[in-house]
Amino acid sequence: MAFSAAEAAMPEGPSIVILKEAARQFEGRTIAAASGNSGGIDFAALPGQPLLAVRSWGKHLLLELPLFSLRIHLLMFGSYRINERKPDAVPRLALRFAEGGELNFYTCSVRQIAEALDTVYDWRVDVMADAWEPRLALRQLRAKPQMLACDALLDQNIFSGVGNIIKNEVLFRLRIHPLSKVKDIPATKLRELVKQARQYSFEFKQWKQASVLKQHWLAHTRRICPRCRIPLQKAHLGLTRRRSFWCERCQKRYDSAARPASVANERKQ
DNA sequence: CAGTTTGTTTTGCT
DNA sequence: CAGCAAAACAAACT
C-alpha cells in the first residue's frame, strides 16, 4: 500500500537507501505525467514508460526505465516528497503514476543516463550495496599511500556513499587522526576502517529511521570529546577542505615521518 | 540575522 | 596541460 514520505536533507548514502526503499512502492507502475525544471531531461519521453526498478549507488538514486534511466543526486540541500508536494517549491522532477501516487524531487541534480546501469556503475564500491567488496577498497587505498584518512573516506570511487558525517564518526570510533596518511595506518587498522565505513553507514540508517541520528554523533558538530572530556578540534582538513572534528588526545596520528625526540636530537648534531 | 554547510560539477587561475 | 581554488547551486540549521 502507498505511504507518503517527506525528507529533510541529510543526503549521505544511508539517506539515499531510505529514499530508495520508500520509492520502491512505484516499481512496476507506469509514468502518467512528468514535469520539472531540470535541464537535459526529455520529459516528453517519460509518460508511458514503466518504472522497471529503483536502485542506488552511493549518493545517487537511480530510476530505471525501458528507454533510459534517471539519476537523482540531492547534493547538499536536496529534498523529496512522496505522495505529497512541498508547498511553494518548484520540483526539479515530478512524476505521477497511472496507477496512482507521485514522486517529487527538489533542489537536486537530475540527469538522464542512456547506458545500461550495470555498465555505468561499479556496485562493488557502494558501501551499502550487497555487492560491496571490502578487498577492492583496501586495494584502492594501498594504491594511494599519500592520501589522508579524511580524504580517503570521502573518495566516492573507494567509499561510495560515505559523507562528511560518516567520515568524522568512523575516524573517531577507530581513534584514527584525520591527518594520518594511508601508508602509515597499520594493516589491521586499515581493514577496520574499511569495515566501519559500511558498518557505521547501516547504523546511520537505523538511527535516522528512528529519528535519533544526531544524538548518536560522538564527534561531528560536538565540542567536547565524549571519551576524555577535552575540547574537540575543528578545522577544514585535507584536499577536500571539509569540516573535521577530532580529539587530539584519543585519535592517533599515524605518521612514519615522526621520530622520537632523542633520535631527532642526535641527528641535529 | 548573519554565518555555516550533510556534495558535486564547472569554471578559471597559475 | 596539470593541479588546484573558487564559484555556483540554494535551504535549513545554529
Span CA (A146) to C1' (C5), Å: 21
Is CATH 1.10.8.50 what the domain over A123-268 is classified as, yes or no? yes
Would you state the pLDDT for residue A37?
85
Q: Whole-prediction pTM value?
A: 0.91
* Amino acid letter for position A81: R
Assess contact for A238 and A246: CB atoms under 8 A: no
Q: Show the CA angle centred on residue A113, arms to residues A86 and A117, nearest 5°.
A: 105
Low-confidence ranges of chain A (pLDDT < 50): 1-2, 263-269
Say which nucleotide is closest to residue A86, CA to C1' distance. C11
- Classify residue A10 by burial, with Cβ atoms within 10 Å: 0-12, 13-18, 19+: middle
CA–C1' A106–C7 (A)? 21
- Nearest residue (Cα to C1') for C9? A107
Distance A4 CA to B14 C1' (A): 51
Instruction: Give alpha helix (H) positions in chain A.
Output: 13-23, 117-120, 134-142, 149-152, 164-174, 187-209, 261-268
pLDDT of residue A246: 93
Q: How is chain A split into domains, by residue range?
A: 3-120, 123-268
Contact A124, A161 (CB under 8 A): no
Annotation: CATH topology of A3-120 = N-terminal domain of MutM-like DNA repair proteins (3.20.190)
pLDDT at A259: 61
